[in-house]
Amino acid sequence: MPEGPEVQQVLNSLEPKIMGKQIIHVEVYKPKITIPLKSEGRQDVFMFRQRLEGAIFHSLERRGKYLVFHCRQQNSSTIYMVSHLGMTGGFFNITSFDQIPDQYRKHVHIIFTLNNDTQLVYSDQRRFGWVGALTQDEYLAYEPVQNVGPDPSEPDAELRFLENMRKKQNMNKPIKSVIMQPLNVQGVGNIYAAECLFLARIHPLTPVKELSDEKLLELLKHIKETFKLAIELGGSSIRDYVNSEGKKGTFQELHRMYNKKTCPECGGDIENIKIDSRSSFFCPNCQKMN
């Protein structure tokens, strides 16, 4: 699943190409690819098209693992096109279909025709991702996007991170479980949790209450620095991930812990246990329980 750095890479490669462009037409080939809403199920395709056709891409931001396209309609209202890439979702700005990477070409679900003779294409092989079009009121009430913790690069990230870590419901939980919850910090998935916990020398099962503020801030520092480097290197392409230009990332070449066998520091065997049903890689020598 694309994590914070991979979603940021999609944003970085897509933003300069589509900002200021108008959506002329929207074609949805898989109705179940629209946003799942609590009370209504999947968003109605007609409503999705009606809200976006004629809109102009005004800005683009990342909220954790979500992409948010701010679209300005002709009546000056803002429509928020929100997307979660799931396991294998991807956006591509193209002039012909042969520009879409092979593994994505057969799984195109939405085509946005733009006013510069290009198309913005959403493709998703496994179809766990989605795209939705929300009004301002709907967007502000959409909890998965609004109720997120700090991005590691935000100025007040340290304060908010510590506040979240010290919440009663988190104190007895394993640190790995807590940092992978977007309510506590944005963008951390299985890959970056393993890498950053190793850098901070924290066992993934350590209860949050056993970690000092200093140790937690050290962990946040590693998350911030790891994200920065991963974004510079295009993210981690473990399986299918590519950015909107079809380019793979190279940060996986620097992974020290995720899906590895031998610790790069001590030379010992890396262990893999299940935490919340997810593979969790760590070095029992370098990351000892207190």
Question: φ, ψ for residue 43 (rounded to 5)?
Answer: -60, 140
- Annotated catalytic residue 101: no
Q: Is 3 a catalytic residue?
A: yes
Locate 35 and state its tokens.
């946003």
The answer to whether 274 is a known catalytic residue is no
Burial 71-106 (b: 16+ CB within 10 A, else e): bbbeeeeebbbbbbbbebbbbbbbeeeeebeeebee
Q: Which of 207, 260, 278, 284 is catalytic?
A: 278
Catalytic residue, from 2, 150, 152, 204: name it: 2
Per annotation, catalytic residue among 49, 65, 173, 224: 65
- Which sequence positions are flagged as catalytic? 2-3, 65, 278
